[in-house]
Structure 1
Amino acid sequence: MMDAGTAREDLCRFLAACYYEPGPEFVEEKLFDSMREAAGRVDPGLGASACRLGEAFVALDLESLRVDYTRLFLGPAGAPARPYGALWLGRDRVLMQDSTMDVLTLYRAGGFDLAEDFREAPDHITAELEFLYLLLFRERGARRAGDATALAEVERLRRRLLGEHLGRWAGPFTRAMHTGAHTAYYRELADLTASFVDLEVRRTALR
């Protein structure tokens, strides 16, 4: 049976996957079945949200989902929910600001290397969620091993990621995404992302 720690990790990486362009592999690889199981282990409300997300995905054809994906995230400057931290943290609403370089430094401190074929800015929501997944995985390992030094370091990095980056911009980003989406799928993804990140922020604040 999946424990709560593993479920948090899995839900985080499944959410990251949802921010790639939608394709048949989402269903073929049973992404939403796995997400629903993980989310339900973390929190019943998240489980219900993940269930709605999967239902919304299969209710539409891929072309409609891809059109909404492009319009929301990839369009020109007027796209309603471009998924880059710098656009939500900085006043100028432009890419590659100081916050972008700061999160890249954070990745390096955590030993997180972006894949060579990753063509987005370092503060893309997929990258930040994947880094959070790595930190959650390492945190669980450090606790299991009783390694207090490693645990303190990974917790420090997680506090910085959530306190200075993802936890600060996920809220306004997902609100804009929910408002701007033309499909139920992306509205549900916005809500699930917001709820999960908020839960992680609150968990971090309690420690």
Structure 2
Amino acid sequence: MEAITAGERETTYGFLAALLLKPPTDSFVAMIKDGSILPVAADSPSYSEFAEFVKDAGKMTDLKEELEAEHTALFVLPSGVLPHEAAYLDREKRLGGRITVSVRQFYERAGMETSEACIEVPDHLGLELEFMGFLCRLEKKFREKQDRSSLLKCIEFQKAFLDEHLLKWAHQCCEKVIEKSAYGFYKAIAHFTKEFIKDEEKYVRELYIKSCKEGEGICEPVA
């Protein structure tokens, strides 16, 4: 059951990461237009926002172009939300500084491979969500192999990355997206992301405590 949950969490993280890193692909736009994107947010309080946008999107002939333009305005241009952890937590808002290096080190220790272009900006919200999805995929694999030691380490990584990174700034970033969004789509995505990460905080904490008990107290903080 928990292996299935890890797979579902990986899917959600991947869904959100893909939409934050790049404009919607043709397949995503098709899912918006035919409403098949809605089940992804079925249990989210932001479902009504998704549904409202999907209803209006069916009438838009230039939907892909509009979403591409808004993605650029929100996540690429300097006047947008600056979706990088350093922009929120570094006093001088330095990309590539101490905070960026700390995020990159998490990726390296966990063994996540990223492209050269991505590793230059590892603290992008989309990449941090992608990393959590990667950890969920590892969790699923370790559960299926019944590799208790690796599983516990993986869960430790999830908790540490949430505590040390995502939970410290993702909420603020999502609030800025909500504030600056011209269309309902990215506003709904931001609400969904914010709610999902909040749920993850509770879920991963409980998962960590349970795993520590099952591991007979062998938990140690992730360095």
Same fold at TM > 0.5: yes
- Counterpart AA for 1:175: E
Distance 1:145 1:125 in 2: 31
TM-superposition CA deviations, 1:159-202 (whole Å, max 9, x none): 12101111211100000110111111111111011111111111
5+ long unaligned stretches in structure 1: none
1:117: Cα distance to partner?
5.2
Of 61, 64, 67, which residue of structure 2 is paired with 1:65? 67
1:52: Cα distance to partner?
3.0
Contact 1:8/1:39, CA 8 A, preserved across alignment? no
1:184 alignment partner in structure 2: 184
1:148 alignment partner in structure 2: 148
- Counterpart AA for 1:55: V
1:25: Cα distance to partner?
3.3
TM-superposition CA deviations, 1:115-158 (whole Å, max 9, x none): 24547601111211111001011112222322111011111111
TM-superposition CA deviations, 1:79-134 (whole Å, max 9, x none): 2x111111112222231221110110000111001124547601111211111001
1:57: Cα distance to partner?
8.3
Q: Percent identity?
A: 26
- Counterpart AA for 1:161: F
Distance 2:48 2:157 in 1: 28
1:33: Cα distance to partner?
6.3
Contact 2:46/2:192, CA 8 A, preserved across alignment? no
Contact 2:174/2:191, CA 8 A, preserved across alignment? yes
- Pair 1:96-2:96 in alignment: yes
Q: Would the alpha carbon gap of residues 67 and 101 (structure 1) be closer, same or farther in structure 2, given more than 3 Å must change? A: same
TM-score normalised by L of structure 1: 0.84
Aligned Cα root-mean-square deviation (Å): 2.7
Give runs of aligned pairs for residues 124-203 of structure 1, distance below 5 A: 124-203=124-203
Contact 2:85/2:125, CA 8 A, preserved across alignment? yes
How many residues are paired up?
200
Distance 1:72 1:47 in 2: 19
Contact 2:96/2:121, CA 8 A, preserved across alignment? yes
Contact 1:177/1:190, CA 8 A, preserved across alignment? yes
Distance 2:56 2:108 in 1: 35
Q: Would the alpha carbon gap of residues 66 and 27 (structure 1) be closer, same or farther in structure 2, given more than 3 Å must change? A: closer
- Counterpart AA for 2:147: D
Distance 2:157 2:134 in 1: 11
Which has the greater radius of gyration?
Answer: 2
